């Protein structure tokens, strides 16, 4: 297993190089650049003459070939940890991503943990007691949660909170803490505002997880090794948790490679509806305005998280299920 992990880490280098080229090229696929968008927005008012735009394009290096722009961006990243400059936000990309990433991680990681804590036990119990009243109720609620779009659920909850309690639940902070420096009071205010994003973002995921967990455990309970464990006189709860549940967790562990980048990208539509200062809307804004360094750096970071998540998945799978072995030859 150690040799496998080392080989995977070594493969990160050429993979990341290829990913960085693709990430930087994606934002340049549409015609024009940030100055083109800016010129279209402001040119009608005479704020930018063609001469001024050309001087700015030369200053920022937009007139240089793709390989030159990519080389400067990559060298600055490797040598100085500089991801470039966001023209839209007028600040370094690293500072901007770090600012939005903290809140994105806080919301999405909490949502993921809450979803797993709630959905996995419900899925297990539904499999152990199939076709019971609890199983039918969980199935109905799961279908409703899966069928309801996140943005619609967000609008409904916002309307209920404002209509019946007179509370505006959008955003992650109260007005007095929105631009205040971090403190324990601001952290407490953040916690009190996180319940709505957790419910909205976690409902669909929990519904899917319940159905998948139920199906996996129910399938494992029918296999001979479970009957053999019962024949040894082991308690039923120990038989279920020690064998079928461990095997049923494999599909979820294998999806960490895709789950980890989703944590950092955030749900764009839900974040816009709830006015959440998360990274998803920031990426969307960067793509629309062709803010090349911000969009390219963010896409690159998502790819890095995908690689890291895939490695974590492989390691956890070998720990949870000893039947999975990797060839170290």
DSSP 24-49: HHHTTSSSS-HHHHHHHHHGGGTSS-
| 192 and 159, same domain (yes or no) | yes
| 31 and 129, same domain (yes or no) | no
| 87 and 114, same domain (yes or no) | no
| 76 and 145, same domain (yes or no) | no
| 218 and 291, same domain (yes or no) | yes
205 in a domain, yes or no? yes
Global confidence as pTM: 0.75
pLDDT at 134: 92
130 in a domain, yes or no? yes
Among residues 77, 96, 76, 78, the alpha carbon closest in space to that of 86 is found at 96
| 82 and 205, same domain (yes or no) | no
| 295 and 162, same domain (yes or no) | yes
Which residue among 66, 92, 118 closes a domain?
Answer: 92
Tens-binned pLDDT, residue by residue, of the chain (329 aa): 677 677 777 887 888 888 888 888 877 777 777 777 766 666 545 555 677 777 777 777 777 888 888 888 888 888 888 888 887 788 888 888 887 877 887 888 888 888 888 888 999 999 888 889 998 998 898 888 888 888 888 888 888 888 888 777 788 888 888 778 888 888 888 888 888 888 888 887 788 888 888 888 888 888 888 888 888 887 888 888 877 887 788 777 777 767 766 666 657 778 888 888 888 788 888 888 778 888 888 888 888 878 887 878 777 777 776 666 555 54
| 58 and 165, same domain (yes or no) | no
Residues spanned by the domain of 87: 21-92
229 in a domain, yes or no? yes
98 in a domain, yes or no? no
277 in a domain, yes or no? yes
Residues of 34-50 as b/e, b for ≥16 C-beta within 10 angstroms? Answer: bbbbbbeeeeeeeebee
| 67 and 152, same domain (yes or no) | no
| 163 and 260, same domain (yes or no) | yes
pLDDT at 122: 92
| 36 and 137, same domain (yes or no) | no
Number of domains in the chain: 2
| CATH number of the domain bearing residue 239 | 1.10.3720.10
pLDDT at 173: 83
16 in a domain, yes or no? no
99 in a domain, yes or no? no
Cβ(266)–Cβ(278) under 8 Å? yes
The Cα–Cα gap between 197 and 151 comes to 10
| 118 and 235, same domain (yes or no) | yes
């Amino acid at each position: 297993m150690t040799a496998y992990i080392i080989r995977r880490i070594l493969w990160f280098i050429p993979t990341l190089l290829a990913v960085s080229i693709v990430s930087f090229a994606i934002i340049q696929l549409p015609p024009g650049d940030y100055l083109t968008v800016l010129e279209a927005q402001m040119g009608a008012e005479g704020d930018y003459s063609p001469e001024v735009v050309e001087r700015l394009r030369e200053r920022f290096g937009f007139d240089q070939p793709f390989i030159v722009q990519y080389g400067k961006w990559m060298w600055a990243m490797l040598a100085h940890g500089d991801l470039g400059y966001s023209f839209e936000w007028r600040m370094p990309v690293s500072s901007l991503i770090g600012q939005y990433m903290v809140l994105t991680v806080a919301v999405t990681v909490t949502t993921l943990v809450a979803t797993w804590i709630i959905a996995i036990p419900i899925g297990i119990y539904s499999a152990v007691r199939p076709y019971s009243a609890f199983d039918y109720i969980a199935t109905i609620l799961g279908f409703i949660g899966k069928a309801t779009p996140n943005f619609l659920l967000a609008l409904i909850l916002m309307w209920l909170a404002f209509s019946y309690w007179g509370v505006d639940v959008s955003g992650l902070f109260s007005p007095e803490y929105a631009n205040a420096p971090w403190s324990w009071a601001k952290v407490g205010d953040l916690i009190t505002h996180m319940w709505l994003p957790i419910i909205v973002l976690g409902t669909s995921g929990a519904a899917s997880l319940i159905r998948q967990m139920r199906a996996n455990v129910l399938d494992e309970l029918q296999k001979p090794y479970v009957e053999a464990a019962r024949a040894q006189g082991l308690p039923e709860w120990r038989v279920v948790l020690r064998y079928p549940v461990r095997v049923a967790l494999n599909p979820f562990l294998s999806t960490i490679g895709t789950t980890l980048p989703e944590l950092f990208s955030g749900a764009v539509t839900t974040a816009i509806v709830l006015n959440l200062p998360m990274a998803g809307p920031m990426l969307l804004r960067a793509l629309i305005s062709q803010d090349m360094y911000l969009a390219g750096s963010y896409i690159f970071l998502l790819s890095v998280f995908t690689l890291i998540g895939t490695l974590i998945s492989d390691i956890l799978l070998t720990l949870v299920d000893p039947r999975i072995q990797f060839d170290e030859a």
